[in-house]
Structure 1
Amino acid sequence: MKKLICISQKESCAEDFFVRTEKILKQGVFAFILREKSLSAGEYEELALKLLPVAKKYSSPFFLNGHYELACGLGLGIQLSFQAYRELRESPVPVGISVHSAEEAEYIVRHPKGISVSHILAGHVFPTDCKKGLAPRGLEFLSSVCKAVDKKIPVFGLGGVSPDNMPALYGTGAYGGAIMSSCMKSPDIEELFKKFAAV
């Protein structure tokens, strides 16, 4: 499932979080991002360390979200906001960057800084419960991000992504899609991945 990035949301997980994470990693996803914004720094580190032995069993890259020092210390990828990337001078580990405009994506391409940029997350594209009340930016937005990047970095559409709308994502030039709620809440994660694989 190299066309999918899966993002964690532990509190909404349909089964034991470690069991679900291993099922996701087994699928060979492009990346798994440990998000968990509600945790303290100490709680987040504890969870990351517990997940590390599971993650090391599989080839799917394991990314931390916004905990730069911890990610570097563990040799894991790091997911950053665009602003955090702008302030970053160097990184010994791969970096994923979240963007909300074509201008931000263009900046990343024009200012590589010698940093290995793994991917760009662009969202939110479709309506999603995670962003209730906020209008989605839509496919035109995603298309503009992809044009700005010009295939130099894989772009993943984020927000409301499903097997049904993956063809529309591909139509913008996106490399793939990123999912959070569905990969955590789905009662049958293997069946969900089968549907994505069939697209």
Structure 2
Amino acid sequence: MALPRLLVVTDRHGAARPLSATVGEAVAGGARFVWLRDRDLDRAARRELARELLDLVRPVGGRLVIGGDADLAAATGAQGVHVPGSAGIDGIRVARERLGSAALIGFSAHSVAEIAAAEAAGASYATLSPIFPTPSKPGYGPALGLEALRAASARRLPVFALGGIGADDAAACREAGAAGLAVMGGVMRGSDPRSAVARFVAALT
């Protein structure tokens, strides 16, 4: 099944309102693919939040992936897990063994070589970041740019452009071959997540 072209990445610290409300507005705006990041929560709180977000995405046929916790994805019935780059490529194989062949297994890549390795390891999709300069990715060096995105997207693995992405960048990222956009600040930090998502969805259509 094809993935939605917009992946909304959560950030409750940056959100202007409670995260469930923010994601609810994003879903109302057309979001159908959500990555629960927020890894600093304790396990019980994160489990409860995952269930709240699943209640939002399921009625519209959306998908939720849990950042870095395959066990929590299995326990809550989420559609998959997003493996952080710090877990390494082996994290993809471990998640696949835990969740099975039907699960969505994403990976956070920061180079074209990591995209190739993620594809070989059996990932369902990957994010590539940072494509453009962004304050949320200060530890990953300079922006990779559209040429790196083009090279990564030449592979069969769906690649989502992440980092400093605005709705105005959708056409260029898609022209470079990206399967879609992964967006955090552009949705989480605004006062109107519904309208923000609607702009991204329109730009990607």
What is the TM-score when the length of structure 1 is the normalising length?
0.85
Deviation of 1:173 (Å)? 0.6
Match of 1:78 in 2: 81
2:178 alignment partner, SS class: coil
Match of 2:16 in 1: 14
Q: How big is the alpha-carbon RMSD for the aligned residues of Structure 1 and Structure 2?
A: 2.2
1:96 alignment partner, SS class: strand
1:167-182 map, 5 Å: 167-182=171-186
Q: Tell me which of 104, 108, 111 is aligned to 1:94.
A: 104
Q: 5+ residue gaps in structure 2?
A: none
Cα 1:128–1:33 change in 2 (3 A) is: same
Deviation of 1:186 (Å)? 1.2
Q: Give identity over the alignment, percent.
A: 27
2:124 alignment partner, SS class: strand
Cα 1:142–1:2 change in 2 (3 A) is: same
Deviation of 1:136 (Å)? 1.2
1:129 alignment partner, SS class: coil
1:106 alignment partner, SS class: helix
- Whole-angstrom distance in 1 between the partners of 2:29 and 2:202: 14
Deviation of 1:87 (Å)? 4.6
Which deviations, in whole Å up to 9, do the C-alpha atoms of 1:126-185 show, x marking residues without a partner? 0112124742121122112112x2xx2321000010011122211211011110011111
Which deviations, in whole Å up to 9, do the C-alpha atoms of 1:35-84 show, x marking residues without a partner? 00221233322322333323332211011101111101222111013512
1:130 alignment partner, SS class: coil
| 1:119 partner letter | Y
What is the aligned residue count?
192
1:81-160 map, 5 Å: 81-82=84-85, 83=88, 84-88=91-95, 90=97, 91-92=99-100, 93-112=103-122, 117-132=123-138, 134-147=141-154, 149=155, 152-160=156-164
What is the TM-score when the length of structure 2 is the normalising length?
0.83
Matched, 1:192 2:202: no
Q: Tell me which of 7, 20, 23 is aligned to 2:25.
A: 23
